[in-house]
Each structure stands twice: as C-alpha cells, then as structure tokens.
Amino acid sequence: MDEGDYAAAAEQRDRDRAIAARKPEPQLLAAIGECYNCSAIVPPGVRWCDSDCRTEWEHRQARGGRCA
C-alpha cells in the first residue's frame, strides 16, 4: 500500500464513523388529536400541547420509553 491507499482508507474509516454516529432522522408522528405526552386534546395537525410536553416526550423516547 502506498500513501494514497492509506489516505483513502483513513478517509473511508472517518466517513463510516460519521455515518454511524449521526443522529437518526426523526420519524414523523401522525397528529392524532391528543398530546403524545399527556393525552390532552390538541387542535388538528398538532402532536403536543406545548413545547414542555414535546421535550419531555423526546427525552423519554431517547431513554427507550422509560420514565426517569
């Protein structure tokens, strides 16, 4: 292997690591008429009743759906 081969291998390794570490694309949830966190009734097209509920739901999802 020459220097170009080593450089290409290092570049590919870095690219593979970056792909593995990237944040997954968020799955869009269907608006179901109630808050996904507290089950409050919400207007059509809305998934959470406020930003606090959205943040709490996201944190719970990041922990695998477990409560703190």
Which pLDDT tens digit goes with each residue over 22-52? 776 666 889 999 999 999 999 999 999 999 9
Phi, psi of 34 (to 5 degrees): -145, 155
Lowest mean pLDDT among 3-17, 18-32, 51-65: 18-32
pTM (2 d.p.): 0.54
Three-class secondary structure assignment of 15-31: HHHHHHHCCCCCCCCCC
Which pLDDT tens digit goes with each residue over 17-27? 988 887 766 66
